[in-house]
Copies of this chain bind each other. A is one copy, B any other.
Amino acid sequence: MQLATWGLLAPPAWAQVPALPRRVGRLMPIGGAEDRMQDRVILRRFVELCGGPGARIRVLSAASGDPKAAWRAYQGVFGELGVLHTAHLDITDVDHANSQDVVDQILDTDGLFISGGDQRRLMALLWETEAFRALHTAFHLRGCCIAGTSAGAAVLSRHMLAQGDTPRLPEKEAAELDLGLGFVSKAIIDQHFSERGRLGRLLSVLAQRPDMLGVGIDEDTALVIERGVGVEVVGQGAVTLLDGRQLRSNYEDIESRERLEMLGVRLHLLPAGRRYSLTPGSESFRRMPPILREAVGLLVAPGPIRG
């Protein structure tokens, strides 16, 4: 079993820090292809949200086809950003995911970064394991900041867009939903959104789950979700929110892969640089139409704790 190795440091003294919430749990789904070479706005913000260069950051790269390479890439970037303590959360199989070693590593983390790859590969490894529960404990009780890019973003929600075609127009069951990590309980996250023209795909899953919010995140763009507080868009593109709570569709009347009729979807386009706070009286709160306040409320609502 691998022991926690924090960069060049000895095993950490702060592993004994009491498990009190130091800050609100923050999530940071990233739409993939975040800048790792230039300004690295998103990764810098992640480090900041974790507590700055002194924060203990782990990289979970098991979604990747080559976890070691993915880890090394982020190790390099976080190093360049001045992070002192970066380690690989290297979960090799389900048994390992149930081990105390892995649990200890997870609970001893200020920020977890989940790399891209295949969200199903990651969930097959984590589902109903001790690691899964430890992630919830870390997030809900210890204020660990969790970011995920691409597949790592999709996996953050309870209802996870697992795979699927990207039809130009929405079709019944064009994409498959599966269970994800569940940090966001009322939204379904898609990534590479406007770059890969995934509106049709996200509308397809919204027809299936109109009680969910569809969240389409562009490349090099992140949605910072602060529990109970608000959201912020960081990076280069935008986040598209699709609210289907008043949707009328023909989902129940048609066969699989038939074209959907979708009436009454609400669309909000949130560009990078904007903040949407639920604090009454704030400038952004006043700017938001009530229907968007509700949608943001769904995003920042605490999900069920699965620890």
A162 CB within 8 Å of chain B: no
A260 CB within 8 Å of chain B: yes
Q: Do the beta carbons of A261 and B237 come within 8 Å of each other?
A: no
A264 CB within 8 Å of chain B: yes
Q: Which residue of the partner chain, among B169, B218, B289, contacts A218 with CB atoms under 8 Å? A: B169
**Interface residues in A, total, Cβ within 8 A:** 35
Q: Do the beta carbons of A268 and B265 come within 8 Å of each other?
A: yes
Query: In the assembled complex, how far is the CB of residue A61 from the closest CB belonging to chain B, in whole angstroms?
Result: 29
Query: In the assembled complex, how far is the CB of residue A192 from the closest CB belonging to chain B, in whole angstroms?
Result: 11
Q: Do the beta carbons of A261 and B271 come within 8 Å of each other?
A: yes
With A238-B259, A289-B246 as known contacts, state yes or no: A264 contacts B268, CB within 8 Å.
Answer: yes
Task: Give the residues in chain B near A265, CB-CB below 8 Å.
Answer: 266-269
Task: Give the residues in chain B near A238, CB-CB below 8 Å.
Answer: 169, 259
Q: How far is the CA of A259 from the CA of B260 in the complex (A)?
A: 30
Q: How far is the CA of A197 from the CA of B200 in the complex (A)?
A: 11
Identical copies in the complex = 2
Q: How far is the CA of A237 from the CA of B200 in the complex (A)?
A: 12
Task: Give the residues in chain B near A264, CB-CB below 8 Å.
Answer: 266, 268, 289, 291-292
Over the window 257-278 of chain A, the binary record of Cβ atoms lying under 8 Å from chain B Cβ atoms (1 yes, 0 no) is 0011111111111111010000
Q: How far is the CA of A196 from the CA of B264 in the complex (A)?
A: 23
**Shortest Cβ distance from A271 into B: residue:** B259
The residues in A between 249 and 299 inclusive whose CB is less than 8 angstroms from any CB of B are: 259-272, 274, 287-289, 291-292
Q: Do the beta carbons of B268 and A262 come within 8 Å of each other?
A: yes
The residues in A between 214 and 261 inclusive whose CB is less than 8 angstroms from any CB of B are: 218, 237-238, 242, 246, 248, 259-261
Query: In the assembled complex, how far is the CB of residue A122 from the closest CB belonging to chain B, in whole angstroms?
Result: 28
A104 CB within 8 Å of chain B: no
Q: Do the beta carbons of A266 and B267 come within 8 Å of each other?
A: yes
Q: How far is the CA of A261 from the CA of B241 in the complex (A)?
A: 12
A129 CB within 8 Å of chain B: no
A residues apposed to B, CB below 8 Å: 168-170, 194-195, 197, 199-200, 203, 218, 237-238, 242, 246, 248, 259-272, 274, 287-289, 291-292
Give 5 nearest A-B pairs by CB, closest first.
A262-B269, A168-B194, A265-B267, A264-B289, A259-B271
Not counting A261-B271, A262-B269, A265-B267, a sample of 5 additional A-B residue pairs whose C-beta atoms are within 8 angstroms of each other reads A262-B268, A263-B270, A264-B289, A266-B267, A267-B267
